[in-house]
Homo-oligomer: A and B are copies of this chain.
Amino acid sequence: MLVDYQLLRIPGPTPVPPSVERAMLSPMIGHRNQETKDLLRRLKPGLQKVFGTNEDVMLIAGSGTAGLEIAVCNTVNPGDEVLVIVTGSFGERFAKICEAYHLQVHRIRFPNGKALQPKAIKTFLETNPTIKAVFATYCETSTGVLNPIQDLAIQIKQASDALLIVDGVSCVGAVDTKMDDWGIDILVTGSQKAFMLPPGLTLVAVSQKAWSHIYHNKQPRYYFDLRKYQQSLYHNTTPFTPPLSLLFGLEESVRLIEKEGLFTVYKRHKIMKEMIRAAFTALDLDLLTNDLDASPTVTAVKAIDFSAEELRKIAKKEFNLVLAGGQNELKGEIFRVGHMGYCSPADMLLTISLIEIALLRLGKQVELGAGVRAAQLIWIQEGLV
């Protein structure tokens, strides 16, 4: 079998484009020198566009979870009541972080594969006026759900003065995001998803309303103290040594996004989602989410009459195709296909064609090509972006 060949179709880390790889190899520079200041200054407008904000996007060495914790430990104080909307593993992670900080955590859970219902959140907030912050997941990576953050923000504002803090890790840069217009107070993402970079960088933007909370917050923090990042970024620098190679790559990945056009990037992800969904439907496989709740970045497929883990093993062993499994209680129940970042509709056709063979190998009755054909039709109808 061809070696050094891998088709990475998981919801992050995602493949890195060649030009981003080359950019990452720029020689090291002094992080306090003018070159780094110039780079940080140049990065600002592009990141603001992707986030849909006029606020600065802060860049911090750490995983996406570090970004989530930053959003918690800067805003709410021990004993504060918060609402965490749980639509899967990453909503639950937000709740666990809040608990680690001794917050009084209210969870509203929605079933796996279902999006949150903004009206239910509004109702809860109306009867719980002491809630200081609402934590929500934009794309719930574990189930492939894209939550209706814009509607959620509207409903929250009608009922409460709580901050809206959003985990956008597995979708910002791939789906429409208007932080300022919608009224998101803190938006977090990571480098290894739609930004097409290796992991190791978290990106965080903060509304003026949230800053006033942050400046009065009493939680112990130093490396995660957003005030330091804000003050440094004002002078185009960082409080601590930034992950320079990722910043070099980020400039190129934002350039690629701008060259394609944000609108086209979003449309490409939407088409990939529709292709994958049409394909699995044509192959008689059940999807975990309905069309309305489905994320453009990751699709979860139910494994009802076959073993999800066995399918993943065959895909890896026979085709070097890497699929994701289910997490926690969904382990063995689903497999997941990532279609995010450096990934095209053509990649979907390849992925589907390989999964068809893998399903056949599993002993499942499959009409070879049926999934591919359904996906091709979608792509042709939607326009060849």
Give the chain B neighbours of A28 by CB distance below 8 A. Answer: 8, 13-16, 192, 198
Contacts A30-B13, A243-B199; is A223 near B21 (CB within 8 Å)? no
Contacts A13-B28, A28-B198, A192-B28; is A223 near B66 (CB within 8 Å)? yes
| Contact assessment for B27 and A6 in the assembled complex, using a CB-CB cutoff below 8 Å | yes
Q: Which of B66, B222, B242, B322 contacts A33 (CB 8 A)?
A: B322
| Contact assessment for A15 and B27 in the assembled complex, using a CB-CB cutoff below 8 Å | yes
A64 touches B (CB below 8 Å): yes
> Which residues 1-45 in A have Cβ within 8 Å of B in the complex?
4, 6, 8, 10, 12-16, 21, 24-25, 27-31, 33
Across the two chains, which residue of chain B brings its CB closest to A103?
A: B220
Distance A219 CA – B222 CA, assembled complex (angstroms): 13
Nearest-CB distance from A1 to chain B (Å)? 15
Nearest-CB distance from A179 to chain B (Å)? 23
Q: Which of A94-102, A155-163, A181-189, A265-273 makes up part of the contact surface?
A: A94-102
Of listed A16, A220, A322, residue having the most chain B CB within 10 A: A220
Distance A127 CA – B103 CA, assembled complex (angstroms): 39
Nearest-CB distance from A221 to chain B (Å)? 6
Across the two chains, which residue of chain B brings its CB closest to A25?
A: B21
| Contact assessment for B27 and A220 in the assembled complex, using a CB-CB cutoff below 8 Å | no
List the interface of chain A (C-beta within 8 A of B): 4, 6, 8, 10, 12-16, 21, 24-25, 27-31, 33, 61-66, 69, 73, 78, 96-97, 100-102, 190, 192, 198-201, 219-223, 225, 239-246, 316, 322, 324
Q: Which of B25, B61, B64, B190 contacts A66 (CB 8 A)?
A: B61
| Contact assessment for B25 and A13 in the assembled complex, using a CB-CB cutoff below 8 Å | no
Q: Which of B21, B30, B66, B246 contacts A322 (CB 8 A)?
A: B30
Nearest-CB distance from A10 to chain B (Å)? 5
Nearest-CB distance from A278 to chain B (Å)? 26
Given contacts A24-B245, A66-B223, 15 further A-B contacts (CB under 8 A): A8-B29, A16-B27, A25-B25, A29-B322, A64-B240, A65-B223, A97-B223, A100-B221, A100-B222, A102-B220, A198-B243, A199-B242, A200-B200, A200-B245, A245-B245
Contacts A69-B222, A69-B223, A219-B220; is A241 near B30 (CB within 8 Å)? no
Closest 4 CB pairs of A and B: A200-B243, A198-B245, A63-B240, A13-B28
Give the chain B neighbours of A29 by CB distance below 8 A. Answer: 6, 8, 13, 322
Q: How many copies does the complex hold?
A: 2
Distance A380 CA – B24 CA, assembled complex (angstroms): 38
Contacts A6-B29, A28-B198; is A65 near B13 (CB within 8 Å)? no
Distance A230 CA – B24 CA, assembled complex (angstroms): 30
26 CB < 8 A contacts A-B: A6-B29, A10-B30, A13-B29, A15-B27, A16-B28, A24-B245, A28-B192, A33-B322, A61-B61, A61-B199, A61-B243, A63-B223, A63-B240, A63-B243, A64-B241, A65-B223, A96-B222, A97-B223, A100-B220, A100-B221, A100-B222, A198-B244, A199-B242, A200-B200, A220-B220, A243-B246
